[in-house]
A and B are shown apart, each in its own frame.
Chain A
């Protein structure tokens, strides 16, 4: 079973920041927080991951609370192409550990 809880859906205006929350209150000390997204009828796309520090890359920023029980994915300037289902996943991050997907958040970016 997935160890994360996400809202089922969110809307965001185009050009605004999209902030997607995730609760992972049972995360263990050596588990990472991963974010993926899936655009309709495609394979999931890796976005970002982190352990305890905040992370930023060209796609997004990941903010992890100090107690690591929740995190927020931030898309700084959402576009229509960011409309997708976003999955927050906790995982050991080892090469032979599969990712367990929950239901994710369906983000709709509106013009």
Chain B
């Protein structure tokens, strides 16, 4: 399957600082990428939809000024957690959809390995 990478895989930061997480589609172009977060023992929760060249669409309850998303190219989306607080500590995961192929039934989404953020 297609490969999506994330960097860093793990980050620890102090409260009040900002952290940038990168999501890259390595062998395909992705017009749309998605950002999720996952708290311990819970399922993935969608945070936002990131579209190349336009503003991201945020889910209800997700602060767009706190979680800045930039999708500057067809292979890279970034999530910046600004003024991080301990409650932002979570597992952040991105995904990208393999662009539709002619006659292809349904699209497969591929997920990155995740970034574990710990805010102290």
Contacts and interface: CB of A to CB of B under 8 A. Distances in A.
B43 interface: yes
B60 interface: no
A103 B43 contact: yes
Chain A residues touching B, range: 20 to 34
Given A98-B49, A101-B43, A93 B106 contact: yes
Contacts, number: 66
A98 B93 contact: no
Interface in A26-42: 32, 34, 36, 38, 41-42
Given A46-B109, A49-B108, A51-B105, A95 B44 contact: no
Interface stretch (B14-22, B68-76, B94-102): B94-102
Contact of B114 (A34, A43, A49, A99): A43
A21 interface: no
Nearest to B2: A46
Given A51-B105, A51-B106, A94-B107, A41 B91 contact: yes
Interface of A: 32, 34, 36, 38, 41-46, 49, 51, 87, 91, 93-96, 98-104
